[in-house]
Amino acid sequence: MLPWLSSRGAKASPKLAVGPSSPASSSDAVPDTDVLLRAASPVTAGDVVMNVPSSLALVASPSSPPPADLQIDGRIWSALPWYGKLSLQLHLRASDGSAPDGWAACLPPQLDTPFHWTAGQLRGLRYAPLASAVLDQVRKWREDYQMLRTVPALSSLTFPAYVRGCELARSRAFSYPRRPAFSAVPFATTGLLVAACAAFPGALGVSLDQAANGAAVVLCAVVAKDFIAPKIAGETEYVIVPGIDYCNHAGEPAAEVRKEYFSDSYSLGALRDLRAGDEVSISYGPRSNDQLLQFYGFVLEDNEHDTYSLPPLAEWDLAALEARLGGAAELGGGDRLEKLQRAGLLDQAVLVTRKVGVDPAVRAALRVLVSTEEEWGGRAQAVGNFVGEVGGANEGMVDEMLRAVVGWEIQKIGKEGEEGGEGGGFGKKEEEGGAGKRDLMSLFRGEKRRVLKEALARL
């Protein structure tokens, strides 16, 4: 792969090597392919180990036009998600047999993500939010593919090929604020004008001061167009950078990817010193294990960004919770539920994070539910007035309700070492890769159990 990249203008440091992945421990980078980047010799923090021209990258954004060689209706192209657009570009690249593609040849034939799991295996996760998200993903990708079947130029595109392209895009693309490529023309033109005015005063009918002021205006215009305007517009572009995309994820990355404006390229720079043989890993961003498993096919142990989605308040068993409180409160009395509904606090999933615990907005809603008539009326029957603590008794009931709901969720997940539902989703005859899926399910459930237990400890 590296010789192929070098032949197309990319630069790889001799300190960098491409090697096969090996099983990772919980503290290592997590392999998602059979190929990864390693240090061939010691690397110093700050070293740039790879630089790839933007011309080699595949790019998609909401406003990006379709490839010139793809005859597709603009409305269909605009309706595609960014990863669908990148999938089509990967398909066109694979269909072009004009020259060997050393990068594409190393791409995995398929990612082992829950998209390909059976219904039983999804149930084995014992986590309905992810199972539901995967089913929605399958439905959406099928709908997008059916739309693409109307495009004659894509008659050779199969659904598995489209899915592979989408998965490669979701797992390998970086995102950046969209901005124009650097152009030296405005700087060169104004520089020549200033130089001419300095060398031949008055010859151009423009004074040196006027030329300098014009150059300053041009500089400000370029900064506004290329840096300020893109931030205001807020459009994001998604980029697959050949070579750099082989970096795996790590909680403590060894390197970072940078977009180099002036050289119109992407670079991979070391964040810390690396020994020979160390993997050159990056961070995929603050992603929960739901996202990592759904789109990348792995779970990160002790992931500080992991979350748990409890059922919405509207689905909580209020009668059981009243019993848990010993009849100390009539939950949702008066118009409390109606006001919580209007505030949008009943139908949204209750998010639990490792950094905060239960969403503070949900605690406010629970304070409303358990409030006495005096507390409710004393705060003008306004949900927003329950953001802070109401009193010791109220706060104690809120904590008790959360203990009950979180405890019920822990029971759903099951104890450590238990298989998922229906034998973990496998029959008596283990299918190929079955043991690996079971280990992955067990790790996923264990990490969700960790999030909930930490939330309990906060109460």
Q: Give DSSP secondary structure letters for 435-459.
A: HHHHHHHHHHHHHHHHHHHHHHHH-
Residues 6+ apart with CB under 8 A from 289: 299, 300, 303, 306, 444, 447, 448
Alpha-carbon span 331 to 390, nearest angstrom: 16
Q: What is the pLDDT of residue 218?
A: 59
Alpha-carbon span 275 to 104, nearest angstrom: 28
Residues 6+ apart with CB under 8 A from 217: none
| Structural tokens at position 107 | 């791409």
Contact between 255 and 174 (Cβ < 8 Å): no
pLDDT digits (tens), the chain, 459 positions:
888 899 999 999 999 998 775 544 334 444 444 578 999 999 999 999 999 999 999 999 988 899 888 889 999 999 999 999 999 999 988 876 555 577 888 888 888 899 999 999 999 999 999 999 999 999 999 999 999 999 998 999 999 999 999 999 999 999 887 555 656 666 667 666 666 666 666 665 666 666 566 667 656 765 555 556 555 555 789 999 999 999 999 889 999 999 998 899 999 999 999 999 999 999 999 999 999 999 999 999 999 999 999 999 999 999 999 999 998 888 877 789 999 999 999 999 999 999 999 999 999 999 999 999 999 999 999 999 999 999 999 999 999 999 999 999 999 998 765 554 444 444 433 344 466 888 999 999 999 999 999 999 999
Q: What is the pLDDT of residue 359?
A: 96
364, amino acid identity: A
How many other C-beta atoms are found inside a 10 Å radius of the C-beta of residue 312? 14
Helix (H, G, I), strand (E, B) or coil at 57: coil
Among candidates 161, 165, 219, which has minimal Cα distance to 188? 219
Q: What is the pLDDT of residue 401?
A: 96
Alpha-carbon span 115 to 105, nearest angstrom: 23
- DSSP structure class, residue 7: T
Q: What is the pLDDT of residue 119?
A: 93
Q: Residue written as tokens 């995967």?
A: 134
Q: What is the pLDDT of residue 62?
A: 87
Q: What is the pLDDT of residue 29?
A: 46
Residue 234's region, left for phi above 0, alpha for psi from -120 to 50, else beta, is: left
Q: What is the pLDDT of residue 231?
A: 56
Q: Residue written as tokens 């405890």?
A: 407
Q: What is the pLDDT of residue 96?
A: 67
Element (H, E) at 387: none
218, burial (CB in 10 Å: exposed 0-12, middle 13-18, buried 19+): middle
363, amino acid identity: R
Helix residue spans in 234-355 (DSSP H):
289-296, 318-324, 336-342
Alpha-carbon span 117 to 437, nearest angstrom: 9
